[in-house]
Chains A and B, each alone.
Chain A
Amino acid sequence: MSILVIAEHDNNTLKAATLNTVQAAVALKNAGAGEITLLVAGENCGGAAEQAAAVAGVSAVVVADNAALAHQLPENMAPLLVNLCQTSGYSHLLAAATTTGKNLLPRAAALLDVAQISDITEVVSSDTFVRPVYAGNALATVQSSDTVKAITVRGTAFTAVEASGGNAPVTQHDGAAESGLSRFISEEMSVSERPELTAARIIVSGGRGMQSGDNFPMLEKVADKIGAAVGASRAAVDAGFVPNDMQVGQTGKIVAPELYIAVGISGAIQHLAGMKDSNVIVAINKDEEAPIFRVADYGLVADLFDVLPELEQAL
């Protein structure tokens, strides 16, 4: 048995989610699933490969550097993964449960004719895993009978391994080809000075109660005082207050910071699914019946337009 982890990166740097995924691989290794190889597939991805080799717990790094992999389109990436599994006999294929991992891994799993186990939160043994279903209202323990276990990993459930300390040998693999099926056109990435949602220690999230995108700066001022990331509910995103990548929830981002402050968010099942594993939850809502109070450690029934300026002052 052996484990292949797909590194998430932008060719230059490794994304934080990779370190959480490697932690799940370490749990598998401890359960007897063999050594860990990290795959860095991209174009001119030497920077990311160098960082990959330093990740603690990794035994080998495979680099696939090819123009066809510049944007890691799944049509080109999935055959590469199949090729690697067939030539190197990996028994476990792991990716982060990010939009990149979710896009790619099922395509590779289907080509390998194996099931995928999505969004695992626990490794029970080399073939048995725990994963949340029904918006986190149930936890399924599932056992796989497939020869290759294709798994996506929920980052919040595994602490990041050290980014340094390792010294894995790097080998090149040139099995990639252009499928001709898809083309990358463009990307509009949000630029923010604030921490990334999934890696932040503190998150301040706004919901429909914020009334408009123009009011979000009130929330951002509070966030900046305490070095927090800013999140949102689906309602706030749908209404165009903030961009889609800020959505926390069942079908958005899953977060579990030290402190989550929900402002003007009612606490629908789908929102709770994305944040109820936070360490400390604060709810600020003018409706004392709001379901968010049922998961909150500290609740404040008040008008957010009074509270936010006061909070900014008090912090």
Chain B
Amino acid sequence: MKVLVAVKRVVDANVKIRVKADNSDVELNNVKMAINPFCEIAIEEAVRLKESGVAEEVIAVSIGDTACQEQLRTALALGADRAIQIDTAQTLEPLAIAKLLNAVVEKEQPGLVILGKQSIDGDNNQTGQMLAALAGMPQGTFASQIKVEGDEARVTREVDGGLQQVAIKLPAIVTTDLRLNEPRFASLPNIMKAKRKPLEVITTDALGINTAHRLSTLKMTAPAEREPGVMVANVAELVEKLKTDAGVL
């Protein structure tokens, strides 16, 4: 079967983002960008499924401008066989992303689609679930383990109270949680090889999908700063302060 992996280009996880002075957006100029960490986990899982003989082909897809080809090349270096960029200059909402991904699903007919559970920029946690709805497929979200058995996938999900196991019929959508795997590093030869792997570019227009925004961002503000704290010398002083000054004990 084919495995399709959705990869997003986002601000690097180590960057502390700041709000622009005019409150219109966050400052993204000259900020380090990277593959969304959850998407990296998704690629790794797909590649492992191929290495274990469950999958025949791994296809990485990203929606964005030309810059996201960088993250697609990373996916190829990590072991994806080919890549698709859906070209758009706009920043799209999860519903539009899910519709575009669904068009790719219809064309490629993958047995499994793996997405990250959350993009670390917008913190939406929506796209996989939306894609599952649009494709009429079941969903195994926040996965910490995936086992493909016959015509279904057994997925262990990280839920608030612990872990849950579900069986979902293939084709299916899975979204990754942090404990699913530990992504490998791309080796230099694989980075070189990735440059020659096929990368197809499709325009959003060609897919004929309405990607109009449903939400408008009226403003972007910085959260309230915390008051500077005090250092205490020892446990006795700490407990004293918590009892009398803070009144929380």
Q: Which residues of A contact B (CB under 8 A)?
A: 73-75, 78, 98-100, 102-111, 113-119, 128, 132-146, 179-190, 198, 202, 226, 234, 237-238, 243-245, 250-251, 253, 258-259, 269-270, 276, 279-282, 293, 295-302, 307, 310-311, 314-315
Contacts and interface: CB of A to CB of B under 8 A. Distances in A.
Contact of A139 (B131, B167, B179, B220): B220
Contacts of A181: 137-138, 168-169
A244 B179 contact: yes
A74 B217 contact: no
A118 B162 contact: no
6 contacts: A107-B130, A110-B131, A138-B17, A142-B218, A187-B164, A311-B235
B123 A119 contact: yes
Interface of B: 11, 13-14, 16-19, 26, 38, 93-95, 98, 117-118, 120-134, 137-139, 141-142, 144, 154, 157-169, 177-179, 214-223, 226-227, 229-236, 238-239, 241-242, 246, 248-249
Contacts of B232: 298-300
A113 B221 CA distance: 29
Nearest to A269: B16
Contacts of B38: 251
B123 A133 contact: yes
A184 B246 contact: no
A297 B161 contact: no
A259 B179 contact: no
Given A115-B94, A137-B223, A110 B134 contact: yes
Contacts of A138: 17, 19, 26, 220-223
Nearest to A136: B223
Contacts of A202: 248
Nearest to A104: B129
A281 B19 contact: no
A314 B129 contact: no
Contact of B230 (A102, A109, A258, A297): A297
